[in-house]
Chains A and B, each alone.
Chain A
Amino acid sequence: MSRLDAWAKASGEARYVADMVLPGMLHVALVRSAVQHGRVRRVDSEQARAVEGVVGVFTADDVNRNTYGRSVRDIPILAGEKVRFVGERVAVVVAESRRAAEAAAALVEVEYDDLPAVTSAEEAIAQGAPLVHDAPWEYAGAAISQEDGHNLQSRVTEGSLTEVEAALGGAEHVVDRTYSTSSGHQGYLEPQACVASVEDGRVRLWVTNKSPYRLRTQLADCLGLDPASIEIEPVLLGGDFGGKGSPMDAPLCVELSRLVGRPVKLVLRYVEDLTATNPRHPARIHVRVGCDREGRLTGMALRALLNGGAYGGFKPLADVNLHGIEDCAMAYRVPALFVESTIAYTNTVPRGHMRSPGAPQAIFAVESALDELAAEAGLDPVDLRRRNLPRTGEPSSHGTTWLEARGLETLEAAVKHARTEQPEVPPGWRHGEGVAVYVRGLPGPPVTSVRLVPAPEGRVRVEVPIPETGTGSHTMVRNRLAAELGIDPEQVEVVQVSTEELPIDPGVGGSRVTVGMSEALGRAAEAWRRGGGDEPVAVELRPGDSAASAPVVCYCAQVAQVAVDPVTGQVKVLEVLSSVDVGDIINPAAHQMQIDGGAVMGYGFACLEDLFEEDGQFWAANLGEFKIPSTNDLPRLRTVLVEGGQGVTSANVKPVGELANVPTAAAIANAVAAATGCRIRDLPITSEKVFWAIEEESAR
């Protein structure tokens, strides 16, 4: 079954925000901070104003001084007295053409008084470190208080350290290791863009944002507007991976349109996307984990320290943290567990969400540590995992008893299939196999809304609140509704409508779309059938409307096969096999794409991706330098579906979007360790890290 968006994308007919043109529209270019931390002494825009076509040059003095954010509201529309990272918006030029705007922006001179800066999380939380924000606890939505410590965005703890200490004290084997991961970027292809039009107090926006209803609230909160006066228009998104959830430059564009009285358009240059939007948090994760003589885990303490950058407002959760870290040990039975996740303010680009936020980092650490523990205990790594995966009926390490726990089956299927076909290893290279496991819970109860409208020729038009981000979600909606109504999918039209048309939706993210939409479409179809299909039907799922979601989880186990050239340290990932715990599958092709795409992203995180952060700046400022995998690099991808799982909603589905990208890095690191005897604890696993590790090992 073809994808709804396939033809338009393949033929070039698809229109993105950057393609938008409105009558009288002006263009925006940003002047960004050249220093990590400094007081803005003077902004000289005289030369810029003289450029032909320039309509205005604006600074913080001209725009609303309120700060904004998805949770904590700590982001200024334009930096006022001080700048907090290289790349922060300091001034902005509005002109008749993009060319004039950019030429003028280059002529704006900003003078700074440098302030001492902190560019790593470790530095930031040290006693006496310079403060990124003087009183971060005062921001609306702050998740910390003054007593919590220095330069904190957030600190979350779970479990009792005392209990873990006792458990580890009595353990037969303990490993104590630190792992780290680098800064990465979502790597969507479409740059962030925004077109804003303010006319007679009415705001209309076309923006690369996947949560339009939340964006409306965020804008209203910041600009003091009535949400009803803001309309977010439907758009097609060219990739997201978590990077398109924040308001980004929307508040600024609204202010600019108000100031100049004409529509404005801002399209970032990709270098701005890479260096100045909301990339992934780099992490340092300290794990102590112990087991008894039989290899049963007795306790684990995990402490993660993440660099959150200059602002926390691009993170949507109320605790301004990353739940992937908090859920780091969910896959196993861990009698005593302590988790601490700290996100620090630094003078670097603000960090945001990226596909399964926090989990790739945390699972890399935990699943690597488990292999190290297995080695310590003289156990086979698969065996160690077998002994610690909870069975159905047993509570997980976080206390919940799930409807079913299919970790063991998922792992066994992975190992069995991986070993039936061994990949070919180049002569002289060393082969290694590595395993890693991840489990993910369900998103909260579905909240969304849809409307079914009769269309000509007996067709049904379904109006949805969410944009197509490139995952095929609109195709899923079409197929699901067709199945519910028992009609041909060709009879269903799917359209995203503006925020005027539907009441509520939390946006795309958290693997919630298929689950939420399935529930809403199920109800809508029922009402439609009852009404005979002549009248529009609207369905609205508000918080509290659906019973709390059943405690359903989905496991994913991956086996990586690598070949390592002992001469150069080069790592070839030959195969990644993903074994996935599934319920029913609505669109097999889209489902498979999530698994394959996930494994590819996991591979990139493991072996390639690094923004090369140094002194608070990224050196990999284009897609040539920031290395996401090319087709030539891809390992062979295989999938085993562990079918028959119990999902949710009448469609019996389990989410899959944020699964297969998570365990890959640990599986590869474990495979490299199996091949070489060398453990790489710092991602990405580059040739030279492996090379030096082998050298050191052989020198010993």
Chain B
Amino acid sequence: MRDVGYLRVGDTAEALTAAARPGARLIAGGTELVNLLKERIEQPDLLVDISRLPLTDITVGPDGLHLGALARMSDVAAHPEVRSGYPAIAQALELSASPQLRNMATMGGNLMQRTRCPYFRADHDLPCNKRRPGSGCSAIDGDHRAAAIFGASESCVATHPSDLAVALVALDAQVRTTARTLPARDLHRLPGDQPHRDTVLDHGEMILGIDVPVSPPSAYLKVRERGSYEFALVSVAVAAETSGGVIRTARAALGGVAPKPWPLDVDLAGVPLRRDELRAAIAPAFAAARPLPGSEFKIELAQRAVVRALTKPIGLMGET
């Protein structure tokens, strides 16, 4: 780690001024940024500590759920009304990282976390366009088991690791920043030829909070190799209204398959909650999948996970 300046700010205006400086980076819980500093993946000159800003609210009202950017993952996951009204969010958080990390990590930091692609995170500098633009992509010809099957480009095939973001997209949330309000599904961008830019936010732009409209019953399913402290191979968030075993409305998003949470853009209204019918209904969304040889398994895995998520008792907190 090299020398870096540190400034703790007391209000949003101060934060904005400081964050606008070139080489400045916001720090909230620090659970992600400190790792990136240690590995020299990011080398800012100034850390702007926003952790004392009054943005930790978790409010549930008639118009939905509001989460401050600094609300802790553990607090949101434990909140009774989040658990009952927005279980996909609570589950996504509870299945993330580890208890110690969740006690520190914030909503804003979670959305802004960077890929877990092993080449991006390698302790020595390897070709990686996301880390060093123009240096090439080691994953395409290397280990790309975790690679994207949607939305990748020739310069980067990495996936976005946030579980929370996937739930937010399925729940049609909005992200409020110091500059705008935008749908959660538009926050992250596809790599194209600029894979070093993960989100559409500008330098110095700060997330203030997240607004989630009142949600139908929802659930989050995460398929991973280890029961804790582990990212998703594939995950799926669903929010659906059903009656008599038939879907009335449903929205779903996938994690672990794309550089951003991948909305499952198929109309599921009228589809019975049965495996074969569901498989047929979601299949068109997978026609666009472009896996690499090592990530091909994700196409099947993801479809099966969607079916599983929709057919398990939705809206209940529970085992996944």
Q: Which residues of A contact B (CB under 8 A)?
A: 34, 103, 271, 426, 567-570, 608, 612, 614, 619-622, 624-625, 627, 629-633, 686-688, 691-692, 695
* Nearest neighbor of A571 in chain B, beta-carbon distance: B225
* Nearest neighbor of A102 in chain B, beta-carbon distance: B1
Does B265 sit within 8 A of A, measured CB to CB?
A: no
Q: How far is the CA of A570 from the CA of B225 in the complex (A)?
A: 8
- For residue B296, give the distance in angstroms from its CB to the closest CB of chain A: 10
Q: How far is the CA of A633 from the CA of B98 in the complex (A)?
A: 13
- For residue A78, give the distance in angstroms from its CB to the closest CB of chain B: 19
Does B11 sit within 8 A of A, measured CB to CB?
A: no
Chain A contacts for B143, CB-based, 8 A? 612, 614, 619
Given known pairs A567-B308, A614-B142, A614-B143, the reply for A629 and B297 (CB within 8 Å) is no
Chain B contacts for A608, CB-based, 8 A? 225-226
State which of A271, A614, A631, A687 has its C-beta within 8 Å of the C-beta of B223. Answer: A687
Chain B contacts for A692, CB-based, 8 A? 297
- For residue A51, give the distance in angstroms from its CB to the closest CB of chain B: 12
Given known pairs A614-B142, A614-B143, A692-B297, the reply for A630 and B229 (CB within 8 Å) is yes
- For residue A678, give the distance in angstroms from its CB to the closest CB of chain B: 15
Does B52 sit within 8 A of A, measured CB to CB?
A: no
Chain A contacts for B227, CB-based, 8 A? 630-633
Whether B118 lies near A633 (C-beta < 8 A) is no
Chain A contacts for B308, CB-based, 8 A? 567-568
Beyond A629-B226, A632-B226, 6 additional contacts (C-beta under 8 Å) are: A34-B124, A568-B223, A612-B143, A630-B98, A687-B225, A688-B297
Q: Which of B105-159 contact A (CB under 8 A)?
A: 116, 118, 121-124, 142-143, 145
Does B59 sit within 8 A of A, measured CB to CB?
A: no
Q: How far is the CA of A624 from the CA of B225 in the complex (A)?
A: 12
Whether B304 lies near A568 (C-beta < 8 A) is yes
Chain A contacts for B319, CB-based, 8 A? 426
Chain B contacts for A630, CB-based, 8 A? 98, 226-230
Q: Which of A271, A568, A622, A633 is packed against the most chain B CB atoms within 10 Å?
A: A568
- For residue B3, give the distance in angstroms from its CB to the closest CB of chain A: 10
Bitwise, B210-241 to A at CB < 8 A (1) or not (0) is 00000000000001011111100100000000
Does B305 sit within 8 A of A, measured CB to CB?
A: yes
Whether A619 lies near B226 (C-beta < 8 A) is no
Q: How far is the CA of A671 from the CA of B144 in the complex (A)?
A: 29
Given known pairs A619-B118, A625-B118, the reply for A633 and B297 (CB within 8 Å) is no
Does B300 sit within 8 A of A, measured CB to CB?
A: yes
Q: How far is the CA of A103 from the CA of B118 in the complex (A)?
A: 24
Q: How far is the CA of A630 from the CA of B231 in the complex (A)?
A: 13
* Nearest neighbor of A621 in chain B, beta-carbon distance: B123
Does B34 sit within 8 A of A, measured CB to CB?
A: no
Does B301 sit within 8 A of A, measured CB to CB?
A: yes
Q: List 21 A-B contacts (CB under 8 A).
A: A103-B2, A567-B307, A568-B223, A568-B308, A608-B225, A608-B226, A612-B118, A614-B143, A619-B118, A619-B143, A621-B122, A622-B121, A622-B123, A624-B229, A625-B118, A630-B98, A630-B228, A630-B229, A633-B228, A688-B301, A691-B300
- For residue A532, give the distance in angstroms from its CB to the closest CB of chain B: 54
Which 9 A-B residue pairings sit nearest by Cβ, starting from the closest?
A: A632-B227, A630-B228, A632-B228, A633-B227, A567-B304, A619-B118, A271-B123, A688-B297, A627-B226
* Nearest neighbor of B234 in chain A, beta-carbon distance: A568
Q: How far is the CA of A631 from the CA of B230 in the complex (A)?
A: 12
Chain B contacts for A695, CB-based, 8 A? 300
Chain B contacts for A625, CB-based, 8 A? 118, 121
Chain A contacts for B301, CB-based, 8 A? 568-569, 687-688, 691
Chain A contacts for B223, CB-based, 8 A? 568, 570, 687
Chain B contacts for A567, CB-based, 8 A? 304, 307-308
* Nearest neighbor of B233 in chain A, beta-carbon distance: A687
* Nearest neighbor of B294 in chain A, beta-carbon distance: A688
* Nearest neighbor of B1 in chain A, beta-carbon distance: A99
Main secondary structure of the interface of B (DSSP, over half): loop
Chain A contacts for B228, CB-based, 8 A? 630-633
Chain B contacts for A568, CB-based, 8 A? 223, 301, 304-305, 308
Chain B contacts for A569, CB-based, 8 A? 301
Bitwise, B248-275 to A at CB < 8 A (1) or not (0) is 0000000000000000000000000000
Q: Which of B2, B145, B226, B319 is packed against the most chain A CB atoms within 10 Å?
A: B226
- For residue A485, give the distance in angstroms from its CB to the closest CB of chain B: 44
* Nearest neighbor of A628 in chain B, beta-carbon distance: B226
Chain A contacts for B300, CB-based, 8 A? 691, 695
Whether A627 lies near B230 (C-beta < 8 A) is yes
Chain B contacts for A632, CB-based, 8 A? 226-228
- For residue B197, give the distance in angstroms from its CB to the closest CB of chain A: 24
Q: Which of B1-22 contact A (CB under 8 A)?
A: 2
Given known pairs A271-B123, A632-B228, the reply for A691 and B297 (CB within 8 Å) is yes
Q: How far is the CA of A621 from the CA of B38 in the complex (A)?
A: 14
Chain B contacts for A103, CB-based, 8 A? 2
Q: Which of B294-317 contact A (CB under 8 A)?
A: 297, 300-301, 304-305, 307-308
Q: How far is the CA of A426 from the CA of B312 in the complex (A)?
A: 12
Whether B304 lies near A619 (C-beta < 8 A) is no
- For residue B268, give the distance in angstroms from its CB to the closest CB of chain A: 19
State which of A271, A619, A627, A691 has its C-beta within 8 Å of the C-beta of B225. Answer: A627
- For residue B12, give the distance in angstroms from its CB to the closest CB of chain A: 33
* Nearest neighbor of A630 in chain B, beta-carbon distance: B228
Q: How far is the CA of A369 from the CA of B267 in the complex (A)?
A: 50
Q: How far is the CA of A629 from the CA of B230 in the complex (A)?
A: 11
* Nearest neighbor of A99 in chain B, beta-carbon distance: B1
* Nearest neighbor of A106 in chain B, beta-carbon distance: B40
Q: How far is the CA of A619 from the CA of B308 in the complex (A)?
A: 32
Chain A contacts for B226, CB-based, 8 A? 608, 627, 629-630, 632-633
Chain A contacts for B123, CB-based, 8 A? 271, 621-622
* Nearest neighbor of A632 in chain B, beta-carbon distance: B227
* Nearest neighbor of B226 in chain A, beta-carbon distance: A627
Chain A contacts for B124, CB-based, 8 A? 34
Whether B225 lies near A686 (C-beta < 8 A) is yes
* Nearest neighbor of A695 in chain B, beta-carbon distance: B300
Q: How far is the CA of A624 from the CA of B97 in the complex (A)?
A: 10
Q: Which of A569, A621, A687, A688 is packed against the most chain B CB atoms within 10 Å?
A: A688
Chain B contacts for A612, CB-based, 8 A? 118, 143
* Nearest neighbor of B142 in chain A, beta-carbon distance: A614
Whether B297 lies near A619 (C-beta < 8 A) is no
Q: How far is the CA of A34 from the CA of B124 in the complex (A)?
A: 9
Chain A contacts for B122, CB-based, 8 A? 619, 621
Q: Which of A271, A567, A695 is packed against the most chain B CB atoms within 10 Å?
A: A567
Chain B contacts for A624, CB-based, 8 A? 116, 229
Q: How far is the CA of A633 from the CA of B301 in the complex (A)?
A: 21
Q: How far is the CA of A377 from the CA of B305 in the complex (A)?
A: 38
* Nearest neighbor of A610 in chain B, beta-carbon distance: B225
- For residue A413, give the distance in angstroms from its CB to the closest CB of chain B: 29
Chain A contacts for B142, CB-based, 8 A? 614
Chain B contacts for A631, CB-based, 8 A? 227-228
* Nearest neighbor of B40 in chain A, beta-carbon distance: A106
Q: How far is the CA of A614 from the CA of B225 in the complex (A)?
A: 20
- For residue B177, give the distance in angstroms from its CB to the closest CB of chain A: 29
Q: How far is the CA of A691 from the CA of B297 in the complex (A)?
A: 8
- For residue B300, give the distance in angstroms from its CB to the closest CB of chain A: 7
- For residue A108, give the distance in angstroms from its CB to the closest CB of chain B: 14
- For residue A614, give the distance in angstroms from its CB to the closest CB of chain B: 6
Q: Which of B27-51 contact A (CB under 8 A)?
A: none
* Nearest neighbor of B311 in chain A, beta-carbon distance: A428
Chain B contacts for A688, CB-based, 8 A? 145, 233, 297, 301
